[in-house]
Amino acid sequence: MNRRYLTTPIYYATGDPHLGHAYTTVLADTLARYYRQTGAEVRFLTGTDEHGQKMQEAAAKRDMTPIELADQMAESFEAAWKDLNISFDRFLRTSEPEHIGVVSTVLERLWAKGQIYDDVYSGWYCVQEERYWTEREVGAEHLCPDCKRPVEFVEEKNYFFRMSDYQERLIQHIEDHPGWIVPGTRRNEILGFLKQPLQDLSISRPKSRLAWGVTLPFDPDHVCYVWVDALINYVTASGLLDPDSGPDQPGFTDQGNSWWPASLHIMGKDIITTHAVYWPTLLMAADLPLPKQILAHGWWIMEDEKMAKSVGNVVDPLALREDYGTDGVRWYLLRDMPTGSDASYTPERFHARYDELANVLGNLASRAISMIVKYRDGIIPEAAGDGLEADIASTLSAVTGHMDALRVHDAMATSMDLARTANGYVDRREPWSQAKDPSGAEDLDETLASLARVLAVLTALFLPVTPQKMTDLAGRLGLKSVPTLDQARSISLGGLRVEKGAPLFPRVDR
Ligand code: ME8
């Protein structure tokens, strides 16, 4: 059985979701739906990252306890994903007892294997990025090189993971598996980073400074570093490790049934180092298999700056949804950002992408169905319907190739091109002239059958990105459900009754 385990990052529960979070989650959802369509059994994980100093401070600012804020934000993320029709199987919160148990299990295992040691750390810490920096990195101004905020000087006992021991093995893994990190630019970035000696990784924070986290199983005065805690969520939700195994037997549950290793971790390029360096080395040290692939996409930009909660320039995906519908938002996100590159959000571009959906796909559906109603009393003619055969075949194979290579935007563009070609076919065949010609009945049957068939194929192609609208369209074509891609290859709709209905993508004035 083909099984796929897909993950999004677990987002910080410090604020509400914005368009950037929605992008990653819609991208993962589209892939999940595509894999299901090809017959795979899919596990799709998302959730919230709830520990750490940033969370503690965000809660204090709002006069809340960290768990109160986490409860509120986990609810906000989960509700947003439901509104955006995200088909996740598991929403994991790092404050869950099951996850805390698995984090302890992994730490015990690393401790027992001598992979963790203690030392005194003195250096600079950025709360926003939840990471340490060296004197050289923060410069004379003592600013975080990433977020440019002032850093704090700390001197404290820390536990360290022997990450440096795994540098060579990691480089070897990346070199042996050229498609492990996509796109290639990110892979090169990580290989470049690994040219410098890898430091050991601090994996703890003293409770005197930060109480909100998972207590280290071998030192009750320290909590686990939030990034180590967070990355382990992928293993928790896989069911690989038994959270109740206890210190003597840090162990596996039923390995055969677990979803580990993940097929694909999806995230933004901001957190590629944690996923492509910290995470695999931790897994190597714990003797666990590595995820099969990592996709790091680009950023949504607002007027030259990354869209971010901390910058305050965020767009609310749920507000856009009120005007353009859930599928309108999903389409824009995937169509407008080349998977892997940055993209600028503007209301004008959003509108233009929606127009494409309405004017090309929506218009095709409306023309074809209206003509079947007008000329054939709503019954799809029993004709070969192979007027667009070659275009359908080449589109299906191109789209499958793009999706398998994680070039989702190319799959979207190619699918839309088929709808464009079908609109051109209508213009060329002029069914309105065929209807007037007493000897044109067979030609008209063929035109209408071909259009019904291409629409059925389009429902399959667009299903992963616009699932509600494609289910609706399949219903209007008289189908019980959207065909799979395989069924779409040879589908015939002769004899089915179509239904016109309201426009699939109603006009939006701006
Ligand atoms: O980093 N453009 O959580 P986070 C595109 N908790 N994607 C964006 C984006 C933008 N402008 N802004 C955010 C964390 N994202 C950790 C993750 S995982 C074990 C722990 C998306 O709330 C993108 O996926 O800061 C990015 O990687 C993620 O949100 C960061 O979310």
Q: Could you please report the per-residue DSSP string of 51-97?
A: -SHHHHHHHHHTT--HHHHHHHHHHHHHHHHHHTT---SEEEETTSH
The residue nearest atom 14 of ligand 1, judged by CA position, is 11
In this prediction, residue 1 has a pLDDT band, given cuts at 50, 70 and 90, of: low
| Ligand 1, residues at Cβ distance < 6 Å | 9-12, 20-21, 23-24, 49, 230-231, 233, 267-268, 270-271, 299-300, 306-308
76-90, 115-129, 397-411: segment of lowest average pLDDT:
115-129
Asked if 20 and 311 count as a contact pair (C-beta separation under 8 A), the reply is: no
Query: Relative to the CA of 307, which ligand 1 atom is closest?
Result: 11
Query: Relative to the CA of 24, which ligand 1 atom is closest?
Result: 24
C-alpha 205 – ligand 1 centre gap (Å): 23
pLDDT per residue over 435-494, tens digit each? 999 999 999 999 999 999 999 999 999 999 999 999 999 999 999 999 999 999 889 899
Query: Relative to the CA of 231, which ligand 1 atom is closest?
Result: 19
Q: Which tokens is 508 given?
A: 């939006």
The residue nearest atom 8 of ligand 1, judged by CA position, is 20
Residue 204: predicted pLDDT? 95
Triad 433, 437, 442: Cα angle to 5°: 95
Among 49, 238, 305, which is best to mutate for testing ligand 1, by the most ligand atoms less than 8 A from CB? 49
pTM for this predicted structure:
0.95
In this prediction, residue 58 has a pLDDT band, given cuts at 50, 70 and 90, of: very high
Query: Relative to the CA of 266, which ligand 1 atom is closest?
Result: 24
Average pLDDT over residues 48-69: 96
C-alpha 110 – ligand 1 centre gap (Å): 27
Query: Relative to the CA of 271, which ligand 1 atom is closest?
Result: 27
The angle that helices 53-61 and 66-83 make with each other, rounded to 10 degrees, is: 100
Residue 349: predicted pLDDT? 95
C-alpha 138 – ligand 1 centre gap (Å): 23
Q: In DSSP terms, which residues pair with 224 in a beta bridge? A: 204
Residue 365: predicted pLDDT? 98
The residue nearest atom 26 of ligand 1, judged by CA position, is 268
The residue nearest atom 23 of ligand 1, judged by CA position, is 268
Mean pLDDT taken over the chain: 95
Average pLDDT over residues 41-52: 98
CB-based burial label for 434 (10 Å; 0-12, 13-18, 19+): buried
The better pLDDT of the pair 447, 126 is held by: 447
CB-based burial label for 283 (10 Å; 0-12, 13-18, 19+): buried
Q: How far is CA 44 from the centre of its chain?
A: 9
- Residue indicated by tokens 């990580």: 190
In this prediction, residue 130 has a pLDDT band, given cuts at 50, 70 and 90, of: confident
Report how far residue 485's alpha carbon sits from residue 38's, in angstroms, rounded to the nearest whole number. Answer: 7
Asked if 290 and 173 count as a contact pair (C-beta separation under 8 A), the reply is: yes
**What is the percent of the chain where pLDDT is above 70?**
98
Report how far residue 231's alpha carbon sits from residue 243's, in angstroms, rounded to the nearest whole number. Answer: 16
Triad 261, 116, 234: Cα angle to 5°: 25
Dihedral sign computed on CA atoms, order 99, 100, 102, 103? positive
Report how far residue 443's alpha carbon sits from residue 431's, in angstroms, rounded to the nearest whole number. Answer: 8
Among 14, 73, 92, 270, which is best to mutate for testing ligand 1, by the most ligand atoms less than 8 A from CB? 270
Query: Relative to the CA of 233, which ligand 1 atom is closest?
Result: 19
The residue nearest atom 2 of ligand 1, judged by CA position, is 299
C-alpha 172 – ligand 1 centre gap (Å): 28
Query: Relative to the CA of 298, which ligand 1 atom is closest?
Result: 5
C-alpha 88 – ligand 1 centre gap (Å): 17
Query: Relative to the CA of 8, which ligand 1 atom is closest?
Result: 24
CATH 1.10.1200.10 fits domain 346-488:
no
The better pLDDT of the pair 404, 134 is held by: 404
C-alpha 416 – ligand 1 centre gap (Å): 29
Q: Which tokens is 449 given?
A: 């059958």
C-alpha 11 – ligand 1 centre gap (Å): 6
Asked if 277 and 198 count as a contact pair (C-beta separation under 8 A), the reply is: yes
101: pLDDT strictly greater than 80: yes
Which residues lie below 8 Å from residue 77, measured CB to CB, with a gap of 6+?
A: 11, 13, 16, 17, 21, 46, 47, 48, 91
C-alpha 275 – ligand 1 centre gap (Å): 12
The residue nearest atom 19 of ligand 1, judged by CA position, is 231
Average pLDDT over residues 273-302: 97
Among 6, 24, 131, 311, which is best to mutate for testing ligand 1, by the most ligand atoms less than 8 A from CB? 24
- What SS3 state is found at 8? strand
C-alpha 192 – ligand 1 centre gap (Å): 22
Asked if 32 and 330 count as a contact pair (C-beta separation under 8 A), the reply is: no
255: pLDDT strictly greater than 80: no
Give the CB-side neighbour count of residue 396, counting CA atoms within 13 A: 19
C-alpha 268 – ligand 1 centre gap (Å): 6
165: pLDDT strictly greater than 70: yes
104: pLDDT strictly greater than 80: yes
Burial 48-84 (b: 16+ CB within 10 A, else e): bbbbbbbbbebbeeeeeebeebbbebbebbbebbeeb
Which residues lie below 8 Å from residue 269, measured CB to CB, with a gap of 6+?
A: 186, 296, 297, 298, 299
C-alpha 9 – ligand 1 centre gap (Å): 7
Report how far residue 362's alpha carbon sits from residue 324's, in angstroms, rounded to the nearest whole number. Answer: 13
Sheet with 152-161: strands ordered across: 131-133, 116-126, 152-161, 201-202
Sheet with 215-216: strands ordered across: 204-206, 219-224, 215-216
CB-based burial label for 345 (10 Å; 0-12, 13-18, 19+): buried
Residue 303: predicted pLDDT? 87
